[in-house]
Amino acid sequence: MKIVLKIVCSLGALTLLSPNVLAGQNNTLFLGKLDLRAKQPIKELSQISTDLAIADNPHFFDRNHLYFTQVLGTSNELGADVFIWDLSKNSMRSIVRLSTNQPALAQSPKDFGWLVVREKDNDQSELRAININGNPETYLAQNGGGVNTSINAHQFEKSNWYLYAQNQQKNQLKAYNTKSKKTIVVSQLPQGSEYFSVSATGHLIASDGSKLYQRQVISKGEYLQAEGDWSPMSIESEFCQSGITKTAISPYGEMIALVCSK
């Protein structure tokens, strides 16, 4: 429990629902095959989210379950639903509703499932863990004042390192080690990038809001090191040729989810 709280409160592994998402920008979620060794690494994209809905925040819970948020309408009063796409059944279901002023879901560093912040009537908030079915498991914090919601973080290869980026820090990609308590700068993200995803092999995919770029990070002794430079990624599809905002990579690296302006 202490480890979960430390990571969440130190790294702020939560991201706010984007204001332009709630304002009605038409973001669509696509799912495709990923092969980072190929000349065109992304192919066979198919739409997952509902037509005219506003999709955001994709994340693979495991190999067969992709979580994402979806606003089913353009009114801010409708809020967002959290959906699961089951890759084994090609089916979708809603599991929980978020109000428009709540942060989106983020994966817990341990096995609780997912983390949400629940706004209370007295302007305080609760950090809450829910399981894969959307049922509450436990409350991790009763006052959300110390929960930073402006950082997007990912565990690196099941190690003690968590890669993260904070939009106030000039596109710096940093890493925090939960064992040594060290924080290091790994590299700069592509200009304009804030969101990124990490594969099981340490490949990073980042978006500058339009195009995708990739770069590999390796473990070298007690530190992490970025290899080479950021290189643009090609997509073999009529979809997502521009306007890509967020990505998610499946645990085994064979699938990728993209949020694009359709």
Tokens of 257: 């989810």
pLDDT of 128 reads 58
Which among 240, 251, 243 has a CA at the least distance from the CA of 48? 240
pLDDT of 235 reads 93
Q: What is the pTM of this model?
A: 0.77
Which among 168, 125, 234, 166 has a CA at the least distance from the CA of 11? 166
Full pLDDT tens readout for the chain, 262 residues? 233 323 333 333 334 334 334 444 679 999 999 999 899 999 999 999 998 888 988 988 889 999 888 887 655 555 678 889 999 999 999 887 765 545 445 555 454 455 555 555 555 555 555 666 666 655 544 444 444 444 567 888 888 888 888 665 568 898 888 888 888 999 999 988 878 999 989 999 998 888 899 999 999 888 999 999 999 999 999 999 989 989 999 999 999 999 998 6
Residue 94, CA distances (Å) to 11, 21, 64, 70, 148 in order: 28, 19, 16, 9, 27
Angle at 9 between CA 61 and CA 207, to 5 degrees: 55
SS3 19: helix
Q: Which residues pair with 54 in a beta bridge?
A: 71
pLDDT of 113 reads 54
Q: Cβ contacts of residue 178 below 8 Å, gap of 6+?
A: 3, 6, 7, 109, 160, 161, 162
- Cα-flanking dihedrals φ and ψ of residue 232, to 5°? -65, 150
pLDDT of 119 reads 55
pLDDT of 126 reads 56
Domain spans, the chain = 2-261
Task: Give the CATH number of domain 2-261.
Answer: 2.120.10
Which among 84, 15, 60 has a CA at the least distance from the CA of 258? 60
Residue with tokens 């040729």: 241
Distance CA 44, CA 32 (A): 5
**Is 35 in contact with 62 (CB distance < 8 Å)?**
no
